[in-house]
Amino acid sequence: MHELKLYINLRLKDRIKMLAKERGLSMNKMATQLLEIGIYKLLEEEKTYGQIKYKQADSK
């Protein structure tokens, strides 16, 4: 695992804390899940609108 400092506003921190408590998770695990879901949704949205092309980075 890598360590990453995120600077977020207090309201977002409180929302993450509330969601984590409801699910019985640590804030760290909840934040990780939220980031994973957000990245997945962003990639799906970009795929739908054709903004990104899926190919290997080393292909020519």
Query: pLDDT: is 2 or 26 the higher one?
Result: 26
* Per-residue pLDDT tens digits for 6-55: 899 999 999 999 999 999 999 999 999 999 999 999 888 888 877 665 56
Q: pLDDT value at position 28? A: 94
CA 47, CA 40: separation in Å to the nearest integer?
10
pLDDT at 46: 83
- The torsion defined by the Cα of 24, 28, 30 and 32, in degrees rounded to 10, comes to -150
What's this model's pTM, rounded to 2 decimal places?
A: 0.70
27, 12 Cβ separation under 8 angstroms: no
